[in-house]
């Protein structure tokens, strides 16, 4: 069951009119133009115990992603492929809006949008994750941890997920005669095979304006948002209209084009942080 949110951040009317009058001049409260994201910082390998990890700061939004790996059974319809799961936690310490408890619809939507972007593009080479085809495969758990919420959890989480996957090293293992797999997590030597890099751009519609990477105030006053995933070739690899409100055909297409330019900034940050030029 999905309900109209009854607990929403209050944006003072004065702030709202400031946002709108600045947009009319092509400016934002965070001192940037409409099509540029906030300052992005990507750090990888921040959790030593995880097989892969990354922390992303997008303005004041902070997201931590950890990747853990296990050995498990493949899905019946893909016996020679590994399994990837994506889960998102809107941790209560990140915002007065977040409550303890199982993931709500916002957390589930966030995780599923990111999951689809990497799944549909085969971003992680799932075939390389088969250990004994048909019975034993790698299970890759991606856990998104939102630490500080100042808007646009989509882009920050996607960027952190991609960086963490690129940072992931699979543990060594030994295959016993019984077919059992014994992991040695003290030695991690095999990098996870990445086929494709995928990132999203979140574009908010505020009045007649389309703005890239909305902060929390902008998200709160926005009519609606569209999150578009791209690969490095500029293909569109996923879309989610998120939030109430609607867009015209022209606005949707314009947003897709604006995002296609903006995503280059994110890709550059990703490349700098991971140093894996492919």
Partner 1 sequence: MGKAVGVKLIDEYGRRHDGRLPDQMRPVRMRINVLENADGSALVEYGRTRILAAVYGPREPVQKFMALPDRALLRVRYHMAPFSTEERKSPAPSRREIELSKVIREAFEDIILVKYFPRTAIDIFLEVLQADGGTRTAAVTAASLALANAGIPMKALVAGVAVGKIEGQLVLDVDEIEDGSGEADMPVAYAPDIEKITLFQLNGVLTREELEKGLDMALSAIRELVELEKRTLKEEYVSTEEV
CB contact at 8 A, 259 and 228? yes
Answer for which of 6, 25, 49, 186 binds partner 1 (CB under 8 A) is: 6
Residue 142 φ then ψ, to 5°: -100, 120
Least CB distance to partner 1 at residue 222 (A): 12
Query: CA geometry: angle at 54 spanning 49 and 59, to 5°?
Result: 145
CB 268 within 8 A of CB 197: no
* Nearest distance, CB of residue 154 and partner 1, angstroms: 13
Question: Where does this chain touch partner 1 (CB under 8 A) — which range of 36-44, 184-192, 223-231, 262-270?
Answer: 223-231
CB of 8 to partner 1, least distance (A): 10
The torsion defined by the Cα of 24, 26, 31 and 33, in degrees rounded to 10, comes to 140
For residue 138, give both structure tokens: 């790698």
Structure tokens at 160: 């952190």
At 11 the three-state DSSP class reads coil
Binding mask 66-105 for partner 1 (x = CB under 8 A): -----------x---------------------------x
Span 120-179, contacts to partner 1 by CB under 8 A: 120-121
Q: Is 12 in the site for partner 1 (CB under 8 A)?
A: no
Residues in contact with partner 1, counted by CB under 8 A, come to a total of 40
The span of 37-45, 93-101, 213-221, 238-246 binding partner 1 (CB under 8 A) equals 238-246
Which of 237, 258, 262, 270 touches partner 1 by CB under 8 A? 237
Q: Which of 69, 238, 266, 269 binds partner 1 (CB under 8 A)?
A: 238
**Residue 16 interacts with partner 1 (CB under 8 A): yes or no:** no
Do the beta carbons of residue 91 and residue 146 sit within 8 Å? yes
Q: How far is the CB of 227 from partner 1 (least distance, A)?
A: 10
Residues found in the chain:
278
Retrieve residue 231's tokens: 């690969």
Q: What is the DSSP secondary structure assignment for residue 93, as one 8-state letter?
A: G
d(CA 186, CA 88) in angstroms, rounded, equals 27
Q: Per CB under 8 A, does 186 bind partner 1?
A: no
Q: What is the largest CA-CA distance in the chain?
A: 71
Of 203, 252, 258, 263, the one binding partner 1 (CB under 8 A) is 252
Backbone angles phi, psi at 56, to 5 degrees: -120, 135
Count CB neighbours of 143 within 10 A.
Answer: 19
Q: What minimum distance in Å lies between the beta carbon of 27 and partner 1?
A: 27
One residue of 187, 236, 261, 278 binding partner 1 per CB under 8 A: 236
Q: Does 235 bind partner 1 (CB under 8 A)?
A: yes
- Contact set with partner 1 (CB under 8 A): 1-4, 6, 77, 105-106, 108-109, 111-112, 116, 120-121, 223-224, 226, 231, 234-249, 252-253, 256-257, 260
């Amino acid at each position: 069951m999905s309900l109209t949110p009854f607990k929403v951040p209050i944006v003072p009317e004065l702030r709202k009119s400031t946002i709108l009058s600045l947009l009319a001049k092509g400016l934002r409260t965070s001192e940037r133009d409409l099509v540029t994201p906030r300052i992005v910082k990507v750090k990888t390998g921040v959790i030593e115990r995880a097989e892969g990890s990354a922390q992303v700061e997008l303005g004041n939004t902070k997201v931590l992603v950890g990747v853990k790996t296990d050995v498990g059974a493949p899905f019946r319809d893909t016996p020679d492929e590994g399994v990837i799961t994506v889960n998102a936690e809107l941790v209560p310490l990140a915002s007065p809006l977040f409550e303890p408890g199982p993931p709500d619809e916002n957390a589930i939507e966030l995780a599923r949008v990111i999951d689809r972007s990497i799944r549909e593009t085969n971003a992680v080479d799932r075939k390389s994750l088969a250990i004994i085809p048909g019975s034993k495969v790698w299970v890759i758990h991606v856990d998104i941890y939102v630490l500080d919420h100042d808007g646009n959890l989509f882009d920050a989480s996607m960027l952190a997920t991609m960086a963490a996957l690129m940072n992931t090293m699979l543990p060594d293992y030994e295959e016993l005669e019984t077919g059992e797999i014994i992991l040695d997590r003290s030695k991690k030597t095999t990098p996870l095979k990445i086929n494709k890099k995928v990132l999203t751009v979140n574009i908010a519609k505020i009045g007649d304006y389309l703005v890239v990477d909305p902060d929390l105030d902008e998200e709160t006053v926005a009519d609606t948002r569209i999150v578009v995933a791209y690969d490095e070739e500029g293909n569109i690899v996923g879309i989610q209209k998120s939030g109430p409100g609607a867009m015209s055909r022209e606005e949707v297409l314009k947003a897709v084009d604006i995002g296609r330019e903006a995503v280059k900034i994110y890709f550059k940050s990703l490349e700098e942080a991971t140093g894996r030029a492919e």
